[in-house]
Chain A
Amino acid sequence: MYTIVAGGGKVGANVARSLLRMGHEVTLVEQRPLRFERLQEEFEHQVLLGDATELHILELAGIGRPPQLVLAATGDDEDNLIICQLAREGYRVPKVVARVNDPRNQEHFDLLGIAQTVCATSNILGLVEHEVPEHGIVHLLELRKENLEIVELQIDRDSPAAGKRLAGLTLPVGARLISVMRNGRSELAESSTVLRPGDQVLAVLEPGKEDELKRLLLKR
């Protein structure tokens, strides 16, 4: 697979290195001259000096072939968004992935149709939520393309669903329970499953259904 990685910081350089080790072909693009010189020692001809939002730099990097994947991993969200648009719309690159540096910019990537995004801050926050024992709803995974998300909820003593069989619960439209974890063991959610305080429930749902699900499973 041929990949262009825009941005040779820690993220871009590490991904490029991993792809090369996996036997893929990679061109890394870095615009800071000092950083480029250091990268050149390792990546040699596989790193290019320039601004990946300039069409002639992308063309030097081989965007016209086109690559199967462009990863926009610079430290600038606007640059990453533009790189993805240029690659996809200008050169029909089948897959583009963008790094989102500031989670507040996520909405712009979503609005402009860059569905494959990675945001370290949001991921770390998700992990923190997961580790905090007193939680309401934890977002484990967002499947942007599918417009679905996977969340975790913990049933407690005050939960209106505690002691009820799943068959007796009316789930909101656009939400399904996947599994119930109890005493460290997970079982797929069946209609015969009875929810108990302490259970950790995984659910898949459409965005915007969280509140309905919380009303059903957590305390009011």
Chain B
Amino acid sequence: MKLLVIGCGRVGSAVAREFQAEGWDVVAVDEKEEALTRLGAGWSGGFVIGHGMDSEILRRAGVDEADAVVVATNGDNTNLVIGQVVRKRYGIEHVVVRVLDPARADFYAKRGMQTVSPTQTAISELAARVRVAGKALA
């Protein structure tokens, strides 16, 4: 199975490493060469320097053969656009997009995109913990 990870920051690099450890063929894409160091010394997967909006970069990263794509750059709108482009142009069904803004994550989730909002996760988790604390005090 082949996974493309676009945006190799803290989130992207960890996802890339996890799937590589599970035996997937993983290619990471990032604008900055330094991002390669986040993948660790033992990284044997692919790494392409460039912007995920650039079709040539996507082609070099092997988008044509990708089974799944994770889009996790530091820009919500960049992620949403790249996510839609890889789905629509390359017909990749499994595209997961990181969107910090819960409102936009929800908007695009309702339109069929797989969005993950770390902010919404934090809100829900914090609220749940406070509720537990509240019950303990009651």
Contact = CB atoms under 8 A, between A and B. Distances in A.
Interface of A: 53-56, 76-79, 81-82, 86, 89-90, 104-105, 107-108, 111-112
B107 A86 contact: yes
20 contacts: A53-B104, A55-B103, A55-B104, A55-B107, A56-B103, A76-B77, A78-B75, A78-B81, A81-B77, A82-B77, A82-B80, A82-B81, A86-B107, A89-B111, A90-B107, A104-B53, A104-B54, A111-B84, A111-B85, A111-B88
Given A78-B77, A82-B104, 9 more contacts: A53-B77, A55-B107, A79-B77, A82-B80, A104-B53, A105-B53, A107-B55, A108-B81, A112-B84
B129 interface: no
Contacts of A77: 53, 81
Contacts of A108: 53, 81, 85
A107 B107 CA distance: 23
- Name the prevailing secondary structure of the B interface residues: helix
B59 interface: no
B71 to A, nearest CB: 12
Interface in B85-138: 85, 88-89, 101, 103-104, 107, 111
Nearest to A113: B88
Nearest to A102: B53
Contacts of A82: 77, 80-81, 104
A139 B80 CA distance: 31
A104 B84 CA distance: 17
B20 interface: no
A55 B53 CA distance: 23
Contacts of A55: 103-104, 107
B67 interface: no
Interface string B50-92: 0001110000000000000000000111101100110011000
A107 B90 CA distance: 13
Contacts of B77: 53, 76, 78-79, 81-82
Interface string B18-40: 00000000000000000000000
A105 B81 CA distance: 11
B85 A78 contact: no
Contacts of B76: 53
A78 B80 contact: yes
Nearest to A76: B77
A81 B85 CA distance: 12
Contact of B81 (A56, A86, A89, A112): A112
A82 B55 CA distance: 19
Contacts of B54: 104
